[in-house]
Amino acid sequence: MARGFAVIPAPAEAPGTDEVIGIDRGVKITAALSDGRKLNCPQLTVKERAQVRKHPRRAARAPKGSEQKTAEYAKVARLKAREAGRRKDWCEKTSTMLARTYGLVRFEKLNIKNMTRSARGTAGQPGRQVKQKAGLNRAILAQGWGLLRQRTEYKAPGRVEDVPAPYTSLRCSACGWIDKNSRKSQAEFVCSFCGFTCNADTNAATNVAAGQGGIPRPRRSAGAGGMTTATSRSSIREPQPTRVGIPLF
């Protein structure tokens, strides 16, 4: 029987542009781009998800070691393989598009391994909301965050960077003001300082594109008796490179 060999594509040729794109990764929207586009990794359909739940139940009722039990588990495995194939295909196509279109691709830096760690805990110290955390872990892994970045880095060597994730979703991409109250909802961002309004994921991706990430240092102000105290981190303003010469403190 003849065996096929996978052909590894060569890295994409860099485009003749220095355009930078920022990518904010999420569960609702797999990849929000700083140019306003929103890309979603294909998931199982509603009907397919129902089948994933149905077949294990049937397998559990089937006699131990029976052909029916084996067949039901095989059906689930085929559905999971179909989902993985769609995810891989999407990551390949999306990473190729990013490598061929943009001179520099910046990703929000995420520790996916820690984010998807089980909350089950131990017998002595059981975890909390284990079922909810397991569902979130499955949703994260289904997005293909790690594979998308890995394939983009392979196709655009030297043109992929990671930007620290903290505060990218709370920082205003127009003025640099950081306030947790500016993030009105999953989709809405309204700066509490300058009034700038934007889709929350696009705003975060814009900050990633500008390299504006990480935890800012709290400013310190003189308190009673000359002692210095740190200002609240809920509202912090940082200078933006796009507004050179305008003091923001």
The C-alpha atoms of residue 137 and residue 132 are separated, in whole angstroms, by 9
The C-alpha atoms of residue 224 and residue 70 are separated, in whole angstroms, by 74
Per-residue tokens: 25:
């990764």
The C-alpha atoms of residue 104 and residue 160 are separated, in whole angstroms, by 6
Other beta carbons less than 10 A from residue 207's beta carbon: 28
Active-site residues: which are they? 24, 108, 201
Residue type, 128: R
Q: What is the mean pLDDT of residues 115-122?
A: 77
Model confidence at 22: pLDDT above 60: yes
Model confidence at 227: pLDDT above 80: no
Model confidence at 232: pLDDT above 80: no
- Give the residue among 17, 9, 18 at the shortest CA–CA distance from 155: 9
Which residue has tokens 């990671």? 162
Q: What's the pLDDT score for residue 112?
A: 87
- Encode pLDDT of 134-186 as tens digits: 888 888 889 999 999 999 999 999 999 999 999 999 999 999 999 999 999 98
The answer to whether 21 and 106 have CB atoms below 8 angstroms apart is yes
